[in-house]
Amino acid sequence: MDLRRRSFYGAAVPCGGAVSKRIVLSFLAVTAACSSSDSNALPSFVAPRSVVTTVYDGGSDDLLTGGLGAAGLGGELPGNAPPPPPGFANPANPTAAELRKRAIYANYRALVDPTFNGGYGTLYGPNVDVNGTPTFNPGKIAGEEWLAYDDDGSGRVNVTMMVQVPDSFDPNNPCIVTAASSGSRGVYGAIATAGEWGLKHGCAVAYTDKGSGMGVDDVQNNAVDLMDGTRDDAADAGTRSNFTANLSDADRAAFNAATPNRFAVKHAHSQQNPERDWGKNTLHAIEFAYYVLNQKFGTAPA
């Protein structure tokens, strides 16, 4: 799979050779192989025009809570309503930032018990520090977020990867935590579990939706999801589509005539059996994280 152990400037580590602690990445999950390249090349499986980088200030928006803070994600008491989900200025045409905020809210509350009596805010949650101590800190984490498609060159696989690098990441004590989404969740699916742990501990977090996440083709209207959750016409989206059903125009027209108002979902209808590649997708997310860290912290070889 062309996975390489790299220094921060991108040089591959020789097989069997000693490596300085200064340039070794320590992983909870790690893969390594040999390479002769000294460049920090974008991995071959990354769709080059798909890479998007966003910096979050830890105030108005952040890596862990989408700017909502601990109180905006949970902590309700029995009989009290939960924090309202973040809304959309135009529900018919939500922005990518609004969709991201809603995705973090929905996935966080789905993966852990968000109630005060269940332990949220006291045993776990954004406001609970790495020592398990509850604080009044809203738990917002500043940093950089990279998104990209993991693809085979066809533009039809388009597994979504994400790497979050908190501002607290220390290149002298580096770590990467992997966070593959469960089930059919999108790329933010593990943010409340592995994601939160990694970000709080100053680690980069490598996420993947495993090819089974967000991807809904409105067959009737020929509309599809893009990587950021916004919608577009399938023809205009082209290889930017998260998932487009494998139908010719004639097949689509015939299908719509016989069975109108249907949707195709990536996990069920991609015909790619994404479950067989979940391990590979996770390893690819790790390698993408190598690339991101080299881009951010790398120095040229002397």
Over residues 172-230, the pLDDT tens digits come to 999 999 999 998 999 999 999 999 999 999 999 999 999 988 899 999 999 999 999 99
* CA nearest to 86, candidates 75, 70, 101, 71: 101
pLDDT, tens digit, 9 for 90 and up, residues 17-33? 332 223 334 333 333 33
> 9 in helix, strand or coil?
coil
Mean pLDDT along residues 49-67: 98
Q: How many CB atoms lie within 10 A of CB 52?
A: 14
- Note the pLDDT of residue 37: 59
Mean pLDDT along residues 262-271: 94
Residue 299 has pLDDT above 50, yes or no: yes
Residue 15 has pLDDT above 60, yes or no: no
* CB neighbour list of residue 218: distance below 8 Å, 6 or more residues apart: 224, 231, 263
Mean pLDDT along residues 85-112: 97
